[in-house]
Amino acid sequence: MSKIHFDKIALIGVGLIGSSLARVIKREGLAGSIVIATRSAETLKRAEELGLGDSYTTENAEAVRDADLVIVSVPVGSSGLVAQQIAGNLKDGAIVSDVGSTKASVIAQMQPELPPSVHFIPGHPLAGTEYSGPDAGFAELFTNRWCILTPLPDVDAAALAKLTAFWEACGSRVDQMDPQHHDLVLAIVSHLPHLIAYNIVGTASDLEQVTKSEVIKYSASGFRDFTRLASSDPTMWRDVCLNNRDAILEMLGRFSEDLASLQRSIRWGDGDALFELFTRTRAVRRGIIEAGQEVDAPDFGRQATISKGG
């Protein structure tokens, strides 16, 4: 039994993150009971078939009654509505957190709705695959991955320590960050790569000179890797773009400038500039591997993960 324990944990949303949380909470004995809420009766039924929780409901307000820890795992654009729905039923002293990848927006939506008697501590586990839904989750999703907490200035130290211990028990390494800084960091390391992937795959599908069957048939690893990102949940990524607009536009602007510079190097045959860029970027890849955030293996060693997630 882990040292950290909650009598009742409410998980609102049971996609990849929510269902993975349910599995790891159960495996590690982090809760006396788990209640799972999702608005789709069909998804809820599947969660029950998988045995992810102890009780199930389509009513968010009902789910949080008497819960010590509430984790909201919904597309970030729905955060405010969920906060409205649960506010009246939250017990005093409960910890309320989320897993959204845009923090300033989530805080702006949720904080005004939540009562001052609860501890609202926004969070973001940097873990995921391109799969979604309750079947996609697996207990090892958070192992050795970062979870960033973006506590508000008046955060309760004991509640923050408890939430930190929870994520550590799930296998995560925990860091803290200012919400605006988090959004800028995520814009470059996650949001921009996904947008580039969506755009490249979209360009390929629009080409008239190259048929779609040729794109699929002759896909080398580079294009294949982009399609993995571009197959991510459309609702989630629509909401990310709309809710982290300023940081994403800033990073897109910088990317466009660097792309124009690369274009010039190719046009003018500047081999030295190209070699310098490719050498510098290769070093970043090595740094990621050395930091333990990736493996140096074919297909990024993801086959094992995909089999667990699928």
What does the pLDDT look like over 284-293, one tens digit per residue? 888 888 877 7
Query: Does residue 303 carry a pLDDT above 50?
Result: no
The stretch 56-85 carries a mean pLDDT of 97
Is residue 308 predicted with pLDDT exceeding 70?
no
Question: How far is the C-alpha of 259 from the C-alpha of 196, rounded, in Å?
Answer: 12
Q: Are residues 192 and 288 in the same domain?
A: yes
Rounded to whole angstroms, the Cα distance separating 281 from 214 reads: 29
In-domain check, residue 1? no
Here the CATH number for the domain that contains residue 139 is 3.40.50.720
Report whether pLDDT(300) > 70.
Answer: no
- When pLDDT is averaged across residues 130-145 and rounded to a whole number, the result is 89
Q: What is the pLDDT of residue 305?
A: 40
pLDDT tens readout for residues 198-236: 999 888 888 767 777 788 788 777 888 888 888 888 988
Shared domain check, 285 and 263: yes
Residue 176 has what pLDDT?
97
**Percent of the chain whose pLDDT exceeds 70:** 94
The answer on 137 and 69 residing in a single domain is: yes
pLDDT at 299: 53
What percentage of the chain carries pLDDT values higher than 90?
74
Q: Please answer whether residues 24 and 139 qualify as being in contact, where contact means their C-beta atoms are separated by less than 8 angstroms.
A: yes
Give me the pLDDT at residue 229, please: 87
152 and 18 part of one domain:
yes
- Report d(CA 89, CA 80) in Å as an integer: 15
Domain, as residue range, for 217? 181-309
Average pLDDT over residues 242-271: 95
Question: At residue 180, does pLDDT exceed 50?
Answer: yes
pLDDT at residue 306 tops 70: no
Mean pLDDT value across the chain: 90
Nearest CA to 147 out of 51, 300, 248, 20 is that of 20
206 assigned to some structural domain:
yes
Q: What stretches of the chain show up as alpha helix (H) in DSSP?
A: 16-28, 41-49, 60-63, 79-86, 103-110, 157-169, 179-186, 192-206, 212-217, 221-230, 234-243, 245-267, 271-290, 303-309
**Which range, of 24-38, 54-68, 185-199, averages the lowest pLDDT?**
185-199
Task: Tell whether 195 and 274 lie within a shared domain.
Answer: yes
The CATH number of residue 264's host domain is: 1.10.3660.10
Report the number of distinct structural domains present in the chain. Answer: 2
Kindly state whether residue 227 falls inside one of the protein's structural domains: yes
Residues 170, 41, single domain; the answer is: yes
